[in-house]
Structure 1
């Protein structure tokens, strides 16, 4: 079983988190049946940007990184407290543990920023939110990251970053392909109504 840990911060973007959950879930039900997604965060209940709460399944302190194959991090809104959690020491330490174990780390939108703050993106290529303003891309650059603007998905080693919410499916389908196979990913895309390239 390939296990994905969904790392949620208060103020997480609901759509981005749901894409990770849905694609991995579709595969568990209709694909090779060999994936599972579990949630974690700093609080028992983690609130999304729109207010609904998700109950975490695992405490960060009880996570054994060796039991997982990938870490998934959706972005969120500063106004809803996203960076209070995403830049917390325990959040960053978990990211580092996944990286040290050479696990896949996938993020969407500003989910790249805690990865960068953890130090593991220094001198690497990545992307983050940049529509209408360059604040978040500048912030990513200030962490020592080589920012690739306007590219929907950037892969550098074991780290996948997505530009904005519209990149959610591209990032997550690529993650599924890495965890299973290209043929299996194509099957899930088709079942979900996406055209295969």
Structure 2
């Protein structure tokens, strides 16, 4: 079984979290049956950007990195308090522990900045929210990243992406890294993404 820890910050975007639960859930039932998602966060209850509330399955302080194969992190909104949790030392500590064991880490959109805050992006190719009005790419550079103008960037064990529209692609990329290309194409076909 490939276990994925879904690391949620207050103010996360629900759609960016749901792609992991859906893609990996579809794989569990209709693909090779090898993926499980477990949610965690710093609080007993987490509120997403648009006020949707989630109760994480495990507390972050009880997480044993050895029990997981990958880490997924949805982005969120500063106005909803995302960076308060996302830049918390406990968040960074978990991210660093996954990286130290060379496990896949898949943030979506601005969640790439959590990797920078954890000190993982120095000299790495990465991307983050790329709207022309945003300062996020500048912030990513300040963390030492080599910012790449691509939708999804894979560098070593890190997968980053440039906006919420890339969320499914990140989840499918993670599924392929955890299983196989053939299995991922099968799940994509069943979910209506064939040829995309």
TM-score above 0.5: yes
2:11 is aligned with 1:11: yes
Unaligned runs of 5+ in 2: none
1:31 shift after superposition? 0.6
What is the deviation of 1:130? 1.4
Residue 144 in structure 1 maps to residue 133 in structure 2: no
The equivalent residue for 2:106 is 106
Which residue is equivalent to 1:65? 65
| Aligned mates of 2:84, 2:134 — CA distance in 1 | 21
Name the structure 1 match of 2:31. 31
Inter-partner Cα distance in structure 2 for 1:145 and 1:36 = 31
For residues 126 and 184 of structure 2, the distance between their equivalents in structure 1, rounded to whole angstroms, comes to 23
Matches of 2:59 and 2:43, distance apart in 1:
8
TM-score (norm 1): 0.97
CA distance in 2, matches of 1:106, 1:34: 18
Q: Which whole-Å CA distance do the structure 2 matches of 1:56 and 1:142 have between them?
A: 32
Counterpart of 2:194 in 1: which secondary structure?
coil
Q: 4+ runs of 1 displaced by more than 2 Å?
A: none
Unaligned runs of 5+ in 1: none
Residues 126-149 of structure 1: CA deviation (Å, up to 9, x unaligned): 000011324000000011111112
What is the match of residue 166 of structure 1?
165
Give the structure-2-normalised TM-score.
0.98
Instruction: Give, in angstroms, the shift of residue 169 of structure 1.
Output: 1.0
Matched, 1:78 2:78: yes
Task: Describe the SS at the equivalent of 2:12.
Answer: coil
Partner of 1:126: 126
Corresponding residue pairs, total: 196
Q: Distance in 2 between matches of 1:71 and 1:120?
A: 14
Q: Distance in 2 between matches of 1:175 and 1:114?
A: 18
Match of 1:121, SS state, is: coil
SS of residue in 2 equivalent to 1:114:
helix
Distance 2:33 2:180 in 1: 12
What is the CA–CA distance in structure 1 between the aligned matches of 2:115 and 2:8, rounded to whole Å?
A: 13
Cα distance per residue 1:97-119 (max 9 Å; x no partner): 00001100001100100111100
